[in-house]
Amino acid sequence: MIKVIAALVTVVVGIGAAIVLYWVLNKLAEVLPGKWEHRLKPYLYILPAYAALAFYLVYPAIQTVVYSFKDSASQGWVGIENYTDLLSSEGFQQTLINTFLWMLVVPFVTVVLGLAVAVLADRLTPKFEKASKTIIFLPMAISFVGAGTVWGLVYDYRPPGRDQIGLQNAIVTALGFDPIAWLDKSDFHLNSFLLMVMLLWAQIGFAMVLLSAAIKGVPVDTIEAARIDGATERQIFFSVVVPQIWGSIVTVFIITLISVMKVFDVVYVMTNGRANTNVIGNEFFNQLFTNFNTGAAASIVVLLMLATIPIMWYQVRHFRREESLA
């Protein structure tokens, strides 16, 4: 009951504070001369949002860059030592390779499978289309921590002779083979790919919804014209449909790519980076909360920000180009 009351008080106080804030800003605008009131009032209304962005986003980013040049306790300056230690570490180099594999595989496969599922689901009758899309989208309602726990049971390993509660090992032993420690099989990064399967399972529904909406928005006239010209269904899809939904494909790819670059909970729950499955997000967590090395943790965040900037720049350019063509 105390938690409910606290939540209600928070909502009431928060809404009341927002109303009072905008009332004060409006009164300040009314004090100004008529011309200046109309000029400055819009900026006063967006001032709280910009102040929040500056306080919760810009300032922490600047502070993180500063900490990346300090020691583990964020006291003394060490220059670029944190960066050189990380980039020269074999373990961190392997972490970068694993992260690159995630960036290479997951966004591409998510788009391909999401597009395939969207196309196939759209060919069903309306009743079965809704049911199939609902089932495929359901994993999006599960947190990555919960999904990681579930898939950890799928890959669970018990020594030979013991009952196998993991689905995959239950199948393997039923076929007469010895159980396999799936998440400890670092050969060819097999365990990393198995972790990616879990993320794909959760992300394909997201890609399917966006791409299905884009496909339904393709003008029927262009498809019928292609059919009249003798194009096959495959030619129609790749030469007529895909070019018209390319903006949505790029959007899904970039959103998934950014999510993969900062993936943490999947790896933390299922392996915590053991057996060569570490990624940069999990390494940041370990440096900050296990090793208590704020300098190294800040350096990892800065490297991640630098890697994200070109992607965001491309996304902004892509959106502007799409708007100019609209």
Half-sphere CA count of 316, side-chain side, radius 13 A: 6
Are residues 144 and 254 both part of a single domain?
yes
3-state helix, strand, coil in the chain (%, to 5): 80, 0, 20
**Average confidence (pLDDT) over 188-211:** 91
pLDDT tens track for 268-294: 999 999 989 999 999 999 999 999 999
* 253 within domain boundaries: yes
pLDDT tens track for 90-109: 999 999 999 999 999 999 99
Identify which has the larger pLDDT, 82 or 312: 82
Are residues 46 and 152 both part of a single domain?
no
Q: How confident is the model at residue 189 (pLDDT cuts 50, 70, 90)?
A: confident
Percent of the chain at pLDDT > 70 equals 99
Instruction: Please tell me the predicted confidence (pLDDT) of residue 326.
Output: 62
pLDDT at 43 over 90: no
Are residues 207 and 62 both part of a single domain?
no
Instruction: Please tell me the predicted confidence (pLDDT) of residue 30.
Output: 84
Count of positions (residues) in the chain: 326
Q: How confident is the model at residue 13 (pLDDT cuts 50, 70, 90)?
A: very high
Identify which has the larger pLDDT, 320 or 98: 98
70 phi and psi angles, rounded to 5 deg = -115, 175
Percent of the chain at pLDDT > 90 equals 55
Identify which has the larger pLDDT, 157 or 323: 157
Instruction: Please tell me the predicted confidence (pLDDT) of residue 323.
Output: 76
Residues 6+ apart with CB under 8 A from 61: 305
- Structural domain count of the chain: 2
Are residues 309 and 213 both part of a single domain?
yes
Are residues 110 and 235 both part of a single domain?
yes
Q: Could you count the other beta carbons within 10 Å of the beta carbon of residue 128?
A: 11
Are residues 87 and 63 both part of a single domain?
no
CATH code at position 315: 1.10.3720.10
Are residues 217 and 291 both part of a single domain?
yes
pLDDT tens track for 206-260: 999 999 999 998 998 998 998 888 888 889 999 999 999 998 999 899 999 998 9
Instruction: Please tell me the predicted confidence (pLDDT) of residue 105.
Output: 95
Cβ–Cβ under 8 Å, residues 263 and 281: yes
Cβ–Cβ under 8 Å, residues 183 and 190: no
Domain boundary among 67, 93, 119: 67
Instruction: Please tell me the predicted confidence (pLDDT) of residue 59.
Output: 94
DSSP 8-state assignment for residue 70: B
Could you tell me the sign of the dihedral formed by the alpha carbons of 302, 71, 283, 288, in that order? negative
Instruction: Please tell me the predicted confidence (pLDDT) of residue 154.
Output: 93
Are residues 204 and 57 both part of a single domain?
no
* 227 within domain boundaries: yes
* 224 within domain boundaries: yes
Cβ–Cβ under 8 Å, residues 204 and 191: no
Instruction: Please tell me the predicted confidence (pLDDT) of residue 1.
Output: 77
Are residues 62 and 88 both part of a single domain?
no
pLDDT at 197 over 80: yes
Q: How confident is the model at residue 156 (pLDDT cuts 50, 70, 90)?
A: very high
* 76 within domain boundaries: no
DSSP 8-state assignment for residue 80: T
Cβ–Cβ under 8 Å, residues 77 and 91: no
Domain boundary among 24, 45, 67: 67
Are residues 162 and 240 both part of a single domain?
yes
Are residues 237 and 89 both part of a single domain?
yes
* 147 within domain boundaries: yes
* 33 within domain boundaries: yes
Domain interval for residue 162 = 81-325
* 75 within domain boundaries: no
- Tokens for 30, please give them: 């009314």
